[in-house]
Amino acid sequence: MSLDPSLLQSLADRVGTPFWVYDAGVLRSRIRQVKALTSPPKVQARYAMKACSAARVLREMLAEDIWIDSVSGNEVLRALRAGYPAGYDPAKICFTADVFRDEALKVVLQNNVLPNIGSPNMIQQLSEAGYRGPISVRLNPGFGHGHVNACDTGGPSSKHGVWFEEAKAIAEAAEAAGQEIVMIHAHIGSGPKFEELHDNLSRLASDFAKIVPVFPALRGVNLGGGIPHDYRDPNADFPLNLLRNLFAEAQEDLSRVAGREIQLEIEPGRFYVAPAGTLVSRVHDVKATQSNAKGEGATFAMIDAGFVDLLRPAMYGSWHRIEVVGKADRPTEPIVVAGPLCESGDVFTRDEAELLQPRELPRPVPGDLMTLHDGGAYGYAMASNYNSIGRAPQVWLEEDGSVSLMSRRETIEDVIDLETDEPLAL
């Protein structure tokens, strides 16, 4: 989807470039799709808030009773500030991690948040802190596939979770510590194809059914996220109704094996928010290199957005649709889109092998706006202050056309505010 050029120009004049704009209508459409998937009885949707933890987005989720999967103590606090209730019954906020970092353990204890542990020693750490409440366990099922190899969330190369064959041992350790395992969880990633996701989810549900008897206090099973988003084709249509049927059947099977009602959960992140967020930048120059013995020359469009704003292309070689605003009907040519950072990797058009991959784009001129699409997931959420650059502002576009500022542009005062010269007494 392309946003109205005049709107983008007005926003650029108002807040400067680069900036993020989130389309409320697109986000709500994706929420409705997930709600339809989880409409069978005892099937519940969560939101993996690490994808985009903005308060405005969290409030949209809360309004539709989408529960939260958080992965840090601060994410728990953000969810609480957005209005989510603490507590275990129901556990509308779940904390998933392989390590208790910073204040996470304290936050979990003080707010009665369900800990979803991914490392066995976390049971001991909870016990030493005096915790005797319910827990969830993230298991590594031995298989799974992310959108790139670096994102694999299951299998021997994945750091996440307790190895599946250790389920009985982790159950015994929890019982010895006075902690009831009320949920088991795994995340197998989205994989490259919908069919693979469907097959992997079916396999995961079947594998979970085999170990349900190991957990006598079990009340829930979480199959993770993984609903795919097609970054190359915004109109791609996945047969999501097949997932609805799968979830309904899995919930019934798990409940039958357990001899009691088991709640089935899923926790998409990317699917909700990816298409809702667009990064808007301005072209500052167009320049070229010449071919020589080292390689072919290229035409570079130099924009003011960089990997401090959208890291995924530099980190994973991820592909995002790019448009030169208002020039969709112009002839195209191969263009490399590069950012302002003092870093050779600050290029948005690379492949997974880190080689330049020019896009067929209308030739821009300085002053043109350029949009990078489908960045709502892991865009602003992964932004940084590298080169001491402040994070870009975020704008909310309501369905009636009204706009509001979700977060302002960071200043140098914001960036250096944490610096200190405080002596430490040892």
- Strand locations in 237-381 (E): 263-266, 277-288, 299-303, 322-324, 332-338, 359-362, 369-372
Its sign, for the CA torsion 305, 309, 312, 314, is: positive
Catalytic residue (choose from 52, 94, 151, 342): 342
The yes-or-no verdict on residue 354 having pLDDT over 90 is no
The yes-or-no verdict on residue 150 having pLDDT over 60 is no
337-352 mean pLDDT: 94
Query: What is the pTM (predicted TM-score) of this model?
Result: 0.94
Helix or strand holding residue 45 (H, E): strand 43-48
> For 221-235, how does the pLDDT look when each residue is reduced to its tens digit (9 = 90+)?
999 988 999 999 988
Q: How would you classify residue 57: left for phi > 0, otherwise alpha for psi between -120 and 50, otherwise beta? A: alpha
State the chain's mean pLDDT as an integer.
Answer: 94
Domains and CATH numbers, the chain: 24-271 (3.20.20.10), 274-409 (2.40.37.10)
The dihedrals phi and psi of 414, each to the nearest 5 degrees, come to: -65, -40
The yes-or-no verdict on residue 358 having pLDDT over 50 is yes
The yes-or-no verdict on residue 355 having pLDDT over 50 is yes
pLDDT score recorded for residue 1:
63
Band (pLDDT 50/70/90 cuts) for residue 191 is low
User: Of 270, 272, 264, which Cα lies nearest the Cα of 38?
Assistant: 264
Percent above pLDDT 70 for the chain:
96
User: CB–CB of 312/352 below 8 Å?
Assistant: no
Query: By mean pLDDT, which of 48-52, 114-118, 182-186, 352-356 is the weakest?
Result: 352-356
Query: By mean pLDDT, which of 156-165, 289-298, 398-407 is the weakest?
Result: 156-165
What are the residues whose beta carbons fall under 8 Å from the beta carbon of 180, sequence distance 6 or more?
133, 134, 135, 174, 217
Other residues' Cβ atoms within 10 Å of the Cβ of residue 166? 15
The yes-or-no verdict on residue 145 having pLDDT over 70 is no
Strands 181-185 and 220-222: parallel
The yes-or-no verdict on residue 399 having pLDDT over 70 is yes
150-156 mean pLDDT: 58
> For 204-220, how does the pLDDT look when each residue is reduced to its tens digit (9 = 90+)?
999 999 999 999 999 99
Extract the tokens encoding 45: 């949707």
DSSP 411: P
User: CB–CB of 264/44 below 8 Å?
Assistant: yes
pLDDT score recorded for residue 151:
47
326-336 mean pLDDT: 95
What are the residues whose beta carbons fall under 8 Å from the beta carbon of 195, sequence distance 6 or more?
none
pLDDT score recorded for residue 70:
98
Band (pLDDT 50/70/90 cuts) for residue 148 is very low
pLDDT score recorded for residue 179:
97
Task: Specify whether 342 is catalytic.
Answer: yes
> For 91-101, how does the pLDDT look when each residue is reduced to its tens digit (9 = 90+)?
999 999 999 99
The dihedrals phi and psi of 360, each to the nearest 5 degrees, come to: -80, 105
> For 261-273, how does the pLDDT look when each residue is reduced to its tens digit (9 = 90+)?
999 999 999 999 9
User: CB–CB of 277/380 below 8 Å?
Assistant: yes
User: Of 31, 99, 87, which Cα lies nearest the Cα of 275?
Assistant: 31
User: CB–CB of 152/190 below 8 Å?
Assistant: no
Helix or strand holding residue 115 (H, E): strand 114-117
User: CB–CB of 198/226 below 8 Å?
Assistant: no
- Greater pLDDT, 48 or 141: 48
